Amino acid sequence: MGVISVTLTPLLLCSFFLLTQCPIFTLATKFDTGGLSRKSFPKGFVFGTATSAYQVEGMADKDGRGPSIWDEFVKKPGIVANNATGEVSVDQYHRYKEDIDIMANLNMDAYRFSISWSRIFPNGAGEVNWKGVAYYNRLIDYLIQRGITPYANLYHYDLPQALEMKYKGLLNRRVVKDFADYADFCFKTFGDRVKNWMTFNEPRVVAALGYDNGLFAPGRCSKEYGNCTEGNSGTEPYIVAHNLILSHAAAVQRYREKYLATQKGRIGILLDFVWYEPLTRGKQDNYAAQRARDFHVGWFIHPIVYGEYPRTMQNIVGNRLPKFTPEEVKMVKGSMDFVGINEYTAYYMYNPPLQGKQQAPGYQQDWHVGFNYSKNGVPIGPRANSYWLYEVPWGIYKAITYIKEHYGNPTIILSENGMDDAGNVTLSQGLHDLKRIHYYRSYLIALKKAIDEGANVVGYFAWSLVDNFEWRLGYTSRFGIVYVDYKDLKRYPKMSAYWFKNLLRRV
């Protein structure tokens, strides 16, 4: 992999304040970047890292923050590995300056963070928690002080629990106004400094994992598809997705009508996209792969670009799929200045034989596809720690090219990309993350190819800045380019962090 073998023990003495004096930094400069540098990408291309509020902030029940649906969800015994929670996490609430200093020293341009809705509005609406507002003001101000551009995401899985209890949250159309009001407050309060806004992170995950299989908060599904006490996998994911799209569009409308002229920012949405490759060249496998793309990323980007759901979905889901009114179409269509794409991996798809007995309707069932992780006995790529994550760099090229060709070559931000190690790796093992370097290098080379062929990609965000609370995996998964010792929460930049520093050096 073009690296020099090292002994890590002395490296633990390094401080991130002295990066250029660290032995690890000297060695990192020798890492093969695959010919990549800042100059490889278009002028003004932005490199950054990303996190989300519940995963890094801590202070979950302090300084006036109200609970979110994840605070409630993690209380279920066994739902998260080792019954972990985000109550303390990596305490970025108090350590944000340290984390921002690390970013600045690694030559990062931007930080994609999320705002906790219930830290601003503990009840989802109404009374403002000014201590929460003060925290985000401190965070934003220090980012700017250190030359890091803030990219603020308004929602990362963490609906206020108060709204879940009040009217069943995302299942109720009332959430559209409450989200737009929350977004409006953030635009008004932070928009003088924040010029890059995102409404929702991975709304497909919110709808599918929260309401089809119950794996994520609020844990609803039909009894056939998960261990849920209530829910309907055949209808609720589609209702939730519809309300998410309308909430997104309503927030964009508020921004454009009230703030754009003076603040001169931009606003978009972040969509996850696994690349689905046909297992064979056969027509049926190609159809299966296309159905998967339509049900995955098309579910959200298609209405925003074309004003309706993909025809595939309309035909299969039928009257279980909500419809946009003419007024809603006007609000939804064109409601993004950019689209964020979170891309990690790829799978092979095939058309499975029809089953004799039809199961109860469900979002994933509606795809009618089979997943394969190898072809002719050859894995699609090396697997990371997470069961779902394979290193498939050509997948990012195909995913970005697909968005370019099917959706009018919109402005794209590669808003998440990365891989994880096991949570129990030692500090020495964690710092020596050569696999992560290989992953980032191969994906950035593939991304550059898509850009060189005309894809309008303007930024790239590595997931994640620091090891953190990884949802159902708790602290058994480490995605960070910075190692966090969970005993004392000290930060240690990994080799991949120094690889980025070398890649992004300004000459």
Which residues does the annotation mark as catalytic?
Answer: 202, 416
Nearest C-alpha neighbor of 411 from the set 400, 421, 424: 400
Quickly list DSSP for 360-406: PP-HHHHH--EEESEETTEESS-B-SSTT-B--HHHHHHHHHHHHHH
Can you tell me the distance from the alpha carbon of 195 to that of 201, in angstroms, rounded to the nearest whole number?
A: 17
Can you tell me the distance from the alpha carbon of 302 to that of 319, in angstroms, rounded to the nearest whole number?
A: 18
Sole residue written with tokens 């020495």: 428
What is the three-class DSSP state of 187?
A: helix
464 preceded by a cis bond (ω within 30 of 0): yes
Q: Are 88 and 58 in contact (CB under 8 A)?
A: yes
Q: Are 144 and 110 in contact (CB under 8 A)?
A: no
Interhelix angle 393-406/434-452, nearest 10 degrees: 30
Can you tell me the distance from the alpha carbon of 289 to that of 285, in angstroms, rounded to the nearest whole number?
A: 6
Reading the block at residue 160, the tokens are 């206020």
Helix (H) or strand (E) holding 270: strand 266-272
Nearest C-alpha neighbor of 232 from the set 223, 241, 240: 223
Can you tell me the distance from the alpha carbon of 161 to that of 172, in angstroms, rounded to the nearest whole number?
A: 14
The number of beta carbons lying within 10 Å of the beta carbon of residue 273 is: 26
**Taking the CA of residue 130 as centre, how many other CA atoms within 13 Å lie in the half-sphere pointing to its CB?**
0
> Which residues neighbour 189 within 8 Å (Cβ) at sequence distance 6 or greater?
133, 137
Helix residue ranges per DSSP H, 256-317: 260-263, 283-293, 299-306, 311-317
